[in-house]
Amino acid sequence: MSLPRGISSFPLNRILKRIGEKHYGTHAMRHTFATRLLSKTSSHQEIKAVAELLGDDYKVVVKTYLHTDEDGKHNLVDMLND
């Protein structure tokens, strides 16, 4: 059973307001958490572990949170030259 929208983030938002930080929704924080973890992964097993931490399926995590940037693409192509 999940909490009604907004209730789960209420204590966090109160703390953020007290310390003068911007409000962040739980969805935005979850997305940032997943994306940053995945940016540090290098194996299928690590991606699977992130999926387990999120309580999501591997394919959902890859499709939703795994992002590539231009530097990453260039690095992969450069590996062919080594």
pLDDT for the residue 6: 55
pLDDT for the residue 34: 93
Query: Is residue 70, in this structure, part of any structural domain at all?
Result: yes
Query: Is residue 12, in this structure, part of any structural domain at all?
Result: no
Domain enclosing residue 44, as ranges: 28-81
Query: Is residue 13, in this structure, part of any structural domain at all?
Result: no
How many domains does the chain divide into? 1
pLDDT for the residue 10: 72
Query: Is residue 14, in this structure, part of any structural domain at all?
Result: no
The answer to whether 69 and 78 are in contact (CB under 8 A) is: no
* Cα distance between residue 17 and residue 34, in whole Å: 24
- Dmax of the chain from CA atoms? 53
Query: Is residue 42, in this structure, part of any structural domain at all?
Result: yes
Query: Is residue 10, in this structure, part of any structural domain at all?
Result: no
pLDDT for the residue 44: 92
Query: Is residue 17, in this structure, part of any structural domain at all?
Result: no
pLDDT tens by residue, the chain, 82 residues: 454 555 566 777 788 888 998 877 788 889 999 999 998 888 999 999 999 999 999 999 999 998 877 777 777 788 888 7
pLDDT for the residue 47: 94
